[in-house]
């Protein structure tokens, strides 16, 4: 049977792993959002440069 200290240490490890995973997920989301925004701006610039199309 694990001691209370061991269980608390395991809980802390899980929390830290969850925080790291969330930070990585947030970074991927921010990168994807920035990429989509850049694509939207490029399309907008193209439409403004060629309004007849």
Q: What is the dihedral of CA 33, 38, 43, 44, to 10 degrees?
A: 100
Say what the pLDDT of residue 52 is: 80
Q: Are 2 and 10 in contact (CB under 8 A)?
A: yes
Say what the pLDDT of residue 1 is: 85
* Cα 1 from Cα 22, distance rounded (Å): 31
Q: What is the pTM of this model?
A: 0.71
Mean pLDDT per block of 10 residues along the chain (53 residues) reads 95 99 99 99 96 77
Say what the pLDDT of residue 53 is: 65
């Amino acid at each position: 049977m694990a001691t209370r200290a061991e269980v608390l240490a395991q809980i802390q490890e899980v929390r830290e792993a969850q925080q790291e995973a969330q930070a990585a997920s947030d970074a991927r989301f921010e990168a994807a959002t920035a990429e989509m925004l850049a694509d939207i701006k490029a399309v907008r610039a193209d439409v403004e440069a060629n309004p007849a199309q």
